[in-house]
Each structure stands twice: as structure tokens, then as C-alpha cells.
Amino acid sequence: MLSKKKILFFAPSIEEGGVEKNLFIVSDFIANDKNYKVYVLTANKNKKKKFNKKINFISPTSNYWSNKPRIFKTLICLKILFFKIKFNKILIFSFQSNLFAILFAKIFKFKIIIRSNTDPTGYISNFLKKILFKLILSKADAVVVNSNEFKNNLKKILNIKSELIYNPFQIKKLKKKIISKNKSLNIVNIGRLTDQKNQITLLKAINLIKNKFSIRCIIIGKGKNFLNLKNYIKNNNLEKNVELLGYKEHPWECAKQFDVFVLTSKYEGLPNVLLEAINENKIIASTDCASGPKEILSNHKGGFLFPVNDYVKLANILNYIYYNKNKALKKNRFAKKNLLKFNYKTNLEKYKNIINKYLN
């Protein structure tokens, strides 16, 4: 009987974003193949139930590390990797803390694939960072990215070759949305409350047009910027317009009656939430950030794009949508056709192919 191929997914900090969703999907798909023995290593013991029962879940013995900063989670996972993972032939697939994972793999002679999650324009801010990331990322056996722009920027900025695999996405067959003749503009934003996600741009845009027509906005997510956003809402008398709902396990259940989805990120890899919003029949307004939105929306054909931080432009877009809802919804129908490239099975097979390439 042939021995199973061993693969370990390295994800020290399992949070609530698109990276984690892709980790669950990919690890589940590989674990369901009887030819593989799959391990997941994380500091978040509290996330064990999220994974396929066929997966060998490895974590610290207590939940103490679950809410610690990512750097501490990474260090404890590297310690576990050093003392407990003694397989002679195992492939590491890193979904997070890639620099640390690569250094470990190279020192102890493991093959390693990394999934890079953020376009380099988001973190290469000086020459020293450029040298550091270029030096270490080049040591990985393979680098996976999830958009063409991301792939091109990685080559242009760091001279790193990468493999493009789109986020595997299951398209739901939902009824065509009919915009009600509602006198309110209903807006939803879903994402961590961080500088990267940049929800303050949405609040500033709403503040500019709050007296023109009725606006209702919900922001779903948790994060360090909660108090800053709450204070802005209070100081600008937006309490009747904007509600911070916190984290929700099923955010789209809260957003069924909302017509417009706004993404305000400064940078991304490929925002899963944008795919979900399109599938949920929402009108899309998104920053033209690196990378992903332009590719998902086929430039302006599938939605409205505006420059990062440009709340005046966003306010103008929201104003246009309010008076032209049905015309704006046609863009969603175009974007929905473009979802086919993110086909669930096709892209998961690509993950399996690259894993096999480095396991053989």
C-alpha cells in the first residue's frame, strides 16, 4: 500500500478574513482526497471545529495563545514545528507569516509553497524592506498569488515569479435583484476595522451627502479602529445614518436589504468579500487599489471604481447610484458573468496540481 503524501498548512493566526476562508476551503479539499495526510498548524486552538475532521489539527494545548498578537502566535507555532513535526517528507504550505515559514523550511530542508496574501505595493515602503522580502521570498519553492495585477507587481517590484490561482468561489444561484423604490440609499461594508480596510473613507463620503437624501449604512467587522470610527460617527452626527455592527458569523444575512456594497481598502490581494457582494447582487463601489478590484470588476464595467482615500469621488458615486439604481445594477449583472473565472473546482484542482508538483 502506498503511503499518503503529507502536507502541513501553516497559519499561526486564524482570524475572520478572506485568507482564512481560503485556508478552510483548500485544506478541506485536499483532506478529502485519500492520497493525502493533511495537517494544520495554528496558535488558534479555538478554531479546531472550523476544519474537516480528517485534518490532523496541531496547536498549543491551551487557548492562551488564541488572542495574542500574530508575532507571538508565529513564534509559538515555529516552536511546535521544531519540536513536534519530525516527518522526513512533508510539504509546508504557508498561508501566513511567510518570511518566518520560509526561513524555517530552508534551515530544516523542507519544501515550501507560500500563498502571498497582500500585493507588494501595500508593504514595500522602503529599500531595506524591498531587499529583505526579495531575498527571502525568492527562497520559497513556489509562490501562489490570486490576481494578475498581484502577479505582475510581484515580478516588477521584487522580481519574484509566482503562480496565479484565483480564490475558489462557489457561485450561488440567487434570484435577480429588483431595486425597490426605496427613498433611502442602503450601504454595507464588511471587513476588519483596520487602517488597511480604511472605513473612514466611507464615513467621510457619507458625511458629505447625508443632507441630500436618506442614507442608511452598516459596517460589519471588528478591529482596532472601532473607537476611532465610533467617535467620527458621533462627532459628525452620523448616528442616524451609520451603525457599527461588530463581527457577524453570517454577515450577508444582516445585509439582505442593502443595495450597495462599498470596499474602501488601501490594498488587497484579491478581496473575497467583493466576490461575495457581487454574488449577493449588490451594486459595487470599490477603491481601485492594488490588487484585485479592477480585475474582479473588469475595470468599470462591473462596478464603480474610485482612487484610494478619495471620499469626494466616492460621495459623487453614491449620489449617482441613488438617482440611477437600476442602471447601476446592470453593472452587477456584468460582474456576475465574470465570476466564472473563480470557479470553485477549477481553482482547487490548480492547488492540488502545485502541491503534487512539489510533493513528488
Torsion of CA 136, 95, 33, 107, to 10 degrees: 30
Measure the CA–CA gap between 324 and 167, rounded to whole angstroms. Answer: 31
Per-residue pLDDT of the chain (360 residues; tens, 9 = 90+): 467 899 999 999 998 888 899 999 999 999 999 999 999 999 999 999 999 999 999 999 999 999 899 999 999 999 999 988 766 679 999 999 999 999 999 999 999 999 999 899 988 989 999 999 999 999 999 999 999 999 999 999 999 999 999 999 988 776 655 555 558 999 999 999 999 999 999 999 999 999 999 999 999 999 999 999 999 999 999 999 999 999 998 999 999 989 999 999 999 989 999 999 999 999 999 999 999 999 999 989 999 999 999 999 999 999 999 999 989 999 998 999 889 889 999 999 999 999 999 986
* pLDDT at site 89: 79
Q: Distance between alpha carbon 350 and the CA centroid of its chain, in Å?
A: 19
* pLDDT at site 179: 57
Domains of the chain: 5-168+343-359 (3.40.50.2000), 184-341 (3.40.50.2000)
Q: Alpha carbon of 250 to those of 16, 255, 332: distances in Å?
A: 11, 9, 22
Q: Are strands 163-164 and 214-220 parallel, antiparallel or unpaired?
A: unpaired
Strand ranges inside the chain, DSSP E: 5-10, 36-41, 56-58, 91-94, 111-115, 142-145, 163-164, 184-190, 214-220, 242-246, 260-263, 283-287, 304-306
Give the helix/strand (H/E) hosting 279: helix 272-279
* pLDDT at site 176: 58
Collapsed DSSP state (helix, strand, coil) of residue 180: coil
Cell of 53: 475532521
Single-letter code of the amino acid located at 154: L
pLDDT, tens digit, for every residue of 216-242? Answer: 999 999 999 999 999 999 999 999 999
- Note the pTM of the prediction, 2 decimals: 0.88
* pLDDT at site 3: 79
DSSP state letters, 73-137: HHHHHHHHHHHH---SS-EEEESS-HHHHHHHHHHTT-EEEEE--S-GGGT--SHHHHHHHHHHH
* pLDDT at site 1: 47
Strand ranges inside 275-330, DSSP E: 283-287, 304-306
